[in-house]
Structure 1
Amino acid sequence: MKSLVLIGGGHAHMITLSKLASFISKGYQVTVIQPSDYHYYSGMGPGMLGGTYQPDDIRFATKKLVESQGGRFVKAHASHIDPEANLVHLLETDETIHYDVLSCNAGSFVPKDIVEGERDNVFTSKPIEELNRARQTILEQANKGATSIAVLGGGPAAVELAGNIHQLCKNNVANKPTIQLFCGRSLMSGAPARVQKLVRKLLTRKGIEIIEKGYIKKVADGQVVIENNEAYTADIIFPAIGVKPSKIFANSGLDIGPDGGLKVNAFLQSTSHRNIFGGGDCIYYADQPLDKVGVYAVRQNAVLYNNLMASLEDKPLEKFSPAGDYLLIYNLGDGEGVFSKWSLTFSGKLAFIIKDYIDTKFIKLFQQFEA
């Protein structure tokens, strides 16, 4: 009996997870490995931090979905893959899991290496569960007294965190904290000029200090030191300086891209091992390196499902097409956002309303399968 194994229940695996019964009905064994019973939708993570959403609003019950269709759910971290023996090794136990076909949606992580020493008050946007702990810490400290919060980075993740930290504190704390955004030399440097302008305007209006005096030199002992040796005190720190793919592929002798992601071809298939596939932030798409945005994982859904089934059945594979431009909407807290697609860019309440509608519709589509 052939075995299909999925590492991670992320966005690129959603269709496959919702249709696990189609594999099982054909006699295939299906195992899903994930360190949590739930998968959180990262696009709504900052909104959860700010209090717009509760955890149940932004997560899928992966374990329930898998087991309800007759699959096996293993709550663990996949530590490395043995591609010659077709085995996945687990971090928590000595158990190994055999596969005939393997699909990886192991996600990405935000490095904390920039912070030296004590990290109890250091939080990242991934894993999303960490934002719950961050929320509680902010509320406790800001209700006790003056608090300084540093967000390290000037990209989309950083500005969304800063805006939603402001929303959280505006509504729930007695002492308004100082929120500083350390964005190197330029805020939202990769975005169009109008997006940069609108993001800056909204954050500045919220009283968030935007620091563009240089890149961060050192973070240690509650101090953020930048290139010109200016030092800033920080009680709570949010590194948001980009994401890196899971280290599992570099640890497993598989072909990887320059970012360490699983190197895949046009079929979302490993360039070194034909029975391994992948999608989402954890891959490096060899034909056209892709931005680390959820839209590509969503677009990969159907192709991954079709190719996993085809691989098990020894049938031809389907090519993935990244397609064209995609919509970007940034949630900057307080029910406000910045909308950008093609030449249309605007900010305000309507931008957030559109984002909320799209995100809520997406998550409810897959939450319905839990029933």
Structure 2
Amino acid sequence: MTSYTTLSRDLVLVGGGHAHALMLRMWGMKPVHGVQVTLINPGPTAPYSGMLPGHIAGHYTRDDLEIDLVKLARFAGARVIFGAADGIDATRKVIHVTGRGEVAYDLASLDVGLHAQAPHIPGFAAYGIGAKPLDRYADRWAAYVLDVTVGAKKGQVAVIGGGVAGCELALAMAYKLKGLGRQSCVTLIEGQTKLASAIPGADRILREEMLGMGVTVVSAVAVDAVTQDAVLLKGRSSVPSEFTVGAAGGFAHAWLSASDLPKDQGGFVQVNDQLLVAGQEDLFAVGDCAALTESPRPKAGVFAVRAAPVLYSNICATLTGGILKKFQPQTDYLKLMSLGRKDAMAAKWGRCLASPKARLWQWKNSIDQTFMRKFSELPVMKPVKVDGPVALGSDDEQMLCGGCGAKVAPGQLSAALAEMPALQREDVLQGAGDDAAVLDIGGQKQVMSVDHLRGFVMDYGLMGRIAAVHALGDVWAMGAKPQSALLSVTLPRLTPAMQARAMREMLDGVGKVVRGAGAEIVGGHSAMGAELTIGLTVTGLMDGNAITLAGAKVGDALILTRPLGSGTLLAAEMQGKADGRDVAALYEIMAHPQGDAAEILKGAHAMTDVTGFGLAGHLMVMCRASGVAAEVCLADVPAYAGAEALADAGYRSTIYEDNRSAAPVFGPDSAKMALLHDPQTSGGFLAAVAAEEAVALAAQLRAAGHDAAVIGDVRAGEPSITLS
């Protein structure tokens, strides 16, 4: 996260298509310094189109064909914003992202593909699914296969469009359904007389394959409408279909079609031979969303792959004042088509080759696997070595974690706090030692706390939301209502224009959480430094007594409202080892406010938010303050997806060993036990509640969207934690 180069330019990549994925890989190996790279994509992964038919047939898992954009961005030193672009203003140079607002750029590139939702067919939007975007189609297909497996659906499928994509998918779905051992029916509907008419000689081969796989072909016919259980044809009998797929061409995304950018008749963005959008000097477009004006080509992934090196070169040239290259796509290319089974046919130079089918499949599989290894096996970049002598005791082997993993160790902090003088003022009812200080302001009880986080994600809006939820946890845990917040920000070295952009994103993120909790941002302080840090000083008001750490009673049940493992996931993500989907899910939970959870637990005898010292550390503090012991059922403790596996692989946060020493747990050692000492950023609440109320409270929390669980109980004895 640390950078000592002033960032002066914002490069924004919209979409995680093939060209952008390859461009990021190249950037990671040879970046232009001083550039902040941002990738905007709806999710943490991007599917590789070449392996989609194989996945639909069941030959590949979903993991096999998905590029992990989180790992790729970490390798490239880029930040990721999870969200769908829904607008662009090339004059103001901003991208609008659903649910996030505007993201400004100095230089941008579009690689958002197309969709196959067939808006011209009545009923398709309600009852059909386009073959693109690939991830939506794959999700819907997986759900349908499950319905067929359990007998809830009959296996009636229709594919609209008999081009290459439609034929591949019809054969793939037929193969999968046939393998389920159930009677099924797949129908391919094509408006022309020949299948894959762009490839001479393909029609005969494909019809033979369709016949062998039991696929009915209906050609030279027009679709009238799509209903819930059929495809209606003009002048012909309807085709029964529970699952209708559109593969009859691609359509430009509505937000691009509605933009002021130059477009062709189909709504695709026109670009010149340098991949620049026509009339623009700071906006590129590649892949299926772009239309090459000087050398038109069909929509095919091969051109996006071939365009990537030119895109990378021209982006670097634009950023450094160099000379741009021309993209000269080949006039013909090898087409390898899947045939349902692990068979394939090849086409090039106006000829088709369908034998030996298995050998052609092996060839295609080898090409596809080689492409995917570019992202699953990213090059290991050499770490920057310290130049000169190093003092004894200096340890820079482990990367310093972000979030609560960067806290001062509990032992050192406790020793320092023990030397503080006793409270002197009568209006300070409670000072250091609990989640927040309690003040008496003219008879009104006010709580006050401060917290800050070392940045671990450079999405300033997301980091702002997480920091705000994290800081407000102390107020909520004491049973108070948030009142105000002072914001303290250290930005990395940015130019004035980029400072303003970063602050707008951050204030938007912090503001949504703080105002959503009923509080106000009343001021703050900002500075520039080596890295991003966000802190909040928060206050809250309460009518009754504070919920402290000292109220746990023997016989109480212990409730935890969020999973453990955020420190482990963040530590692994910094090393490029965490699954991007797990990281995205973690971010979503950490950014979710917990005021409603605190309200549900307002009757707790004792409560705290689990943060940097881990569950064991905070539970031990509660036991000491209350004079009790605790027993935790490890099997009942929830964990974030991927966290236990990473812990088992040895990934640990910076503060882990200190946390373990400060709060030993008695029980068998395991990866799950390690998570008890894992520092939590924006962690859940740990509450001691009456045993007879625990199950109902946990159910109420889960109904409110919190992954809560009863994890143990409070027992008599010396302060200690034992596993059961």
Which SS does the other structure have where 1:44 is aligned? helix
**Structure 1 counterpart of 2:282, from 258, 275, 278:** 275
Which SS does the other structure have where 2:306 is aligned? helix
Alpha-carbon offset, residue 23 of structure 1: 7.1
Alpha-carbon offset, residue 180 of structure 1: 0.7
Equivalent-residue separation in structure 2 for 1:116 and 1:127 (angstroms): 20
Is the 2:123–2:225 contact (alpha carbons within 8 Å) kept by the matching residues of 1?
Answer: no
Deviates more, 1:241-250 or 1:156-165: 241-250
From the superposition, tell whether residues 353 and 326 of structure 1 become closer, same or farther in structure 2 (CA, over 3 Å).
same
Deviates more, 1:56-65 or 1:223-232: 223-232
Query: Which of 1 and 2 has higher RCO (CA within 8 Å, sep 6+)?
Result: 1
Alpha-carbon offset, residue 157 of structure 1: 1.0
| 1:103 is the counterpart of 2:106 | no
Is the 1:311–1:317 contact (alpha carbons within 8 Å) kept by the matching residues of 2?
Answer: yes
From the superposition, tell whether residues 202 and 270 of structure 1 become closer, same or farther in structure 2 (CA, over 3 Å).
same
Q: Number of aligned residue pairs: give it.
A: 369
From the superposition, tell whether residues 73 and 186 of structure 1 become closer, same or farther in structure 2 (CA, over 3 Å).
same
Is the 1:35–1:77 contact (alpha carbons within 8 Å) kept by the matching residues of 2?
Answer: yes
Give the AA of the match of 1:110: A
Equivalent-residue separation in structure 1 for 2:132 and 2:374 (angstroms): 23
Give the AA of the match of 1:55: R
| Structure-1-length-normalised TM-score | 0.93
Which SS does the other structure have where 2:51 is aligned? helix
Task: Give matches, 1:24-43, under 5 Å.
Answer: 26-43=33-50
Alpha-carbon offset, residue 25 of structure 1: 5.2
Give the AA of the match of 1:362: F
Alpha-carbon offset, residue 120 of structure 1: 6.8
Give the AA of the match of 2:68: A
Equivalent-residue separation in structure 2 for 1:63 and 1:355 (angstroms): 27
Alpha-carbon offset, residue 230 of structure 1: 2.2
Deviation string, structure 1 residues 142-201 (Cα, Å, up to 9, x no partner): 541633211111111111111111111122x24221111111232325333421111111
**Structure 2 counterpart of 1:161, from 138, 161, 169:** 169
From the superposition, tell whether residues 316 and 156 of structure 1 become closer, same or farther in structure 2 (CA, over 3 Å).
same
Q: What residue is the counterpart of 2:333 in the other structure?
A: 326
From the superposition, tell whether residues 49 and 197 of structure 1 become closer, same or farther in structure 2 (CA, over 3 Å).
same
Is the 1:255–1:263 contact (alpha carbons within 8 Å) kept by the matching residues of 2?
Answer: yes
Structure 2 residue ranges without an equivalent (≥5): 1-7, 379-575, 578-724
Which SS does the other structure have where 1:109 is aligned? coil
**Structure 2 counterpart of 1:196, from 193, 203, 213:** 203
Q: What residue is the counterpart of 1:146 in the other structure?
A: 154
Deviation string, structure 1 residues 277-311 (Cα, Å, up to 9, x no partner): 01110101011221001111011010000000111
Is the 2:118–2:124 contact (alpha carbons within 8 Å) kept by the matching residues of 1?
Answer: no
Equivalent-residue separation in structure 2 for 1:114 and 1:349 (angstroms): 39
**Structure 2 counterpart of 1:85, from 67, 92, 96:** 92
| 1:355 is the counterpart of 2:364 | yes
Equivalent-residue separation in structure 2 for 1:360 and 1:27 (angstroms): 34
Equivalent-residue separation in structure 1 for 2:276 and 2:16 (angstroms): 18
Equivalent-residue separation in structure 1 for 2:200 and 2:40 (angstroms): 42
Give the AA of the match of 2:364: K
From the superposition, tell whether residues 142 and 300 of structure 1 become closer, same or farther in structure 2 (CA, over 3 Å).
same
Equivalent-residue separation in structure 2 for 1:3 and 1:24 (angstroms): 13
Bigger Rg, which one: 2
Task: Give matches, 1:1-371, under 5 Å.
Answer: 1-21=8-28, 26-94=33-101, 96-114=102-120, 116-117=122-123, 122-130=128-136, 131-141=138-148, 143-144=150-151, 146-171=154-179, 173-342=180-349, 344-347=351-354, 348-369=357-378
Equivalent-residue separation in structure 1 for 2:352 and 2:122 (angstroms): 39
Is the 2:167–2:196 contact (alpha carbons within 8 Å) kept by the matching residues of 1?
Answer: no
Structure 1 residue ranges without an equivalent (≥5): none
| Structure-2-length-normalised TM-score | 0.49
Alpha-carbon offset, residue 344 of structure 1: 4.6
Is the 1:154–1:186 contact (alpha carbons within 8 Å) kept by the matching residues of 2?
Answer: no
Which SS does the other structure have where 1:154 is aligned? coil
From the superposition, tell whether residues 324 and 217 of structure 1 become closer, same or farther in structure 2 (CA, over 3 Å).
same
Equivalent-residue separation in structure 2 for 1:168 and 1:125 (angstroms): 16
Equivalent-residue separation in structure 2 for 1:230 and 1:263 (angstroms): 41
Equivalent-residue separation in structure 2 for 1:123 and 1:25 (angstroms): 41
Q: What residue is the counterpart of 2:478 in the other structure?
A: none
Which SS does the other structure have where 1:244 is aligned? coil
Is the 2:32–2:316 contact (alpha carbons within 8 Å) kept by the matching residues of 1?
Answer: no
Alpha-carbon offset, residue 43 of structure 1: 1.3
Deviates more, 1:308-317 or 1:217-226: 217-226
Is the 2:295–2:328 contact (alpha carbons within 8 Å) kept by the matching residues of 1?
Answer: no
Q: What residue is the counterpart of 2:666 in the other structure?
A: none
From the superposition, tell whether residues 135 and 121 of structure 1 become closer, same or farther in structure 2 (CA, over 3 Å).
farther
Alpha-carbon offset, residue 316 of structure 1: 1.4
Is the 2:163–2:248 contact (alpha carbons within 8 Å) kept by the matching residues of 1?
Answer: yes
Which SS does the other structure have where 1:252 is aligned? coil
Equivalent-residue separation in structure 1 for 2:159 and 2:123 (angstroms): 18
Q: What residue is the counterpart of 2:489 in the other structure?
A: none
Is the 1:142–1:177 contact (alpha carbons within 8 Å) kept by the matching residues of 2?
Answer: no
Give the AA of the match of 1:105: D
Give the AA of the match of 2:293: A
Deviation string, structure 1 residues 242-285 (Cα, Å, up to 9, x no partner): 11233333232111112211110010001121110011101010
Is the 2:17–2:46 contact (alpha carbons within 8 Å) kept by the matching residues of 1?
Answer: yes
Alpha-carbon offset, residue 343 of structure 1: 5.2
Alpha-carbon offset, residue 81 of structure 1: 1.0
Deviation string, structure 1 residues 57-88 (Cα, Å, up to 9, x no partner): 11111122113433210001111111111111
Which SS does the other structure have where 1:272 is aligned? coil
Which SS does the other structure have where 1:330 is aligned? strand
Task: Give me the identity figure in percent.
Answer: 27
From the superposition, tell whether residues 143 and 210 of structure 1 become closer, same or farther in structure 2 (CA, over 3 Å).
farther
Alpha-carbon offset, residue 11 of structure 1: 1.1
